[in-house]
Structure 1
Amino acid sequence: MKQPPGLNNSDLTLICKLHKSIYGLKQASRKWHDKLTNTLLQIGFIKSFFDYSLFLKHTDIGFTTILVYVDDLILAGNDLNQITQTKYVLHKKFSIKDLGDLKFFLGMEVARLKQGIHLYQRKYTLELLQEIGFLGAKPSSTPMSYNTIIHSKSGIVLQDPTSYRRLIRKLLYLTRTRPDISFSMGYLSQFLAYLTDEHYKATTQILRYLKSCPAQGIFFPSNNDTTLQGYSDLDWAT
């Protein structure tokens, strides 16, 4: 930092020592995360080693989770008293603003119903269609034409693949709530190194499919006994 105006000091080699991090510097975000992490650890939360922005707390009654994105926090759990206590501690420490039930987060929309929770990205989808110019396109009933075989050498090579790669990246973010396009996006993502007009044509069909159902997403019913099971094919030799 340069010396501020009005400081009567002829020695211009001296610098200023920061007693508090300044907003906008790289150190500021690190200091904030360290302070928030230490606060959560002190009240019994455990940082997940699989996702450092996720904090978990288990009690005899239930569990509480906190998902952190910069200075936005999602607080969830099945112990209302623990949630209330956590919000009280965070407000006392940081003077937080409680926005109520979760409705929008990182492009994802949340609709709470008596039957369950609907997670979707309608606003994100419509903005993407408008940006690409497909808001008025003819809808498609399927995300991919399964009669057409596409490979790495299909069609004519695109002169400027940058915009196409940006489109693929935005569509990949949609797969968080749209598993119906996961296979199509995974298939087309194989050809990012050698892009042709056939690949772009296949991508436009995904856009027209999204036009037909922009609000489709994932529904989590409130009454269900579904359990998740994961399997991994391990090689003991490695």
Structure 2
Amino acid sequence: MLGYRPADSPIEVNHHLCSGVGDLVEKERYQRLVGRLIYLSHTRPDIAYAVGIMSQFMHEPRAPHLDAVYRILRYLKSAPGKGILFSNHGHLRLEAFTDADWAGSIDDRRSISGYYAFVGGNLVTWCSKKQIVVSRSNVEAEYSDMAYLNCLMRTTSLLLFVYVYTTTSLLHVYKLIAVYEVRLKQSQLFDAYYN
């Protein structure tokens, strides 16, 4: 890895990695590399998405998957000083951002949800995962993701209220205008997820 050129991002933009394409590679080596990257991603949120994608192929790794893992390693080589830094911003406001990629998984066409949350301006949690069910539309995928994140924010707000006594919460949705326009028609769907 010393002779490799550093990468500017941990994964290619608009990647199309799927199972069953390419030659099989040594399974144990791939699992060891991805396992170490999973451990490292707890303090490096910049690689969490890429490592999550690579962990989907641990049972049958192929050459393109190993190349993508090497790209993560090349990215880490180019950015050794990145990590989580907590600082005092003078407030404990809870902010969360969410987005969903409708039918984003090539293998099973499930939507991929992603969110990250800040408490007091500091990143405290993030996630990128496939949704449990196949959504019928982009709006349904957004609603599902927004409802889940709203429950997470309510729980976090309750914990903050117990310890701090006061908190405010903001939920940012990437396609909020599209969600708002359909809100009146599909309010029962959101209410079912919300409650």
- Give the TM-score normalised by structure 1: 0.39
- Give the TM-score normalised by structure 2: 0.47
Task: Report the structure, 1 or 2, having the larger helix content.
Answer: 2
Query: Which one scores higher on RCO, CA 8 angstroms, separation ≥ 6?
Result: 2
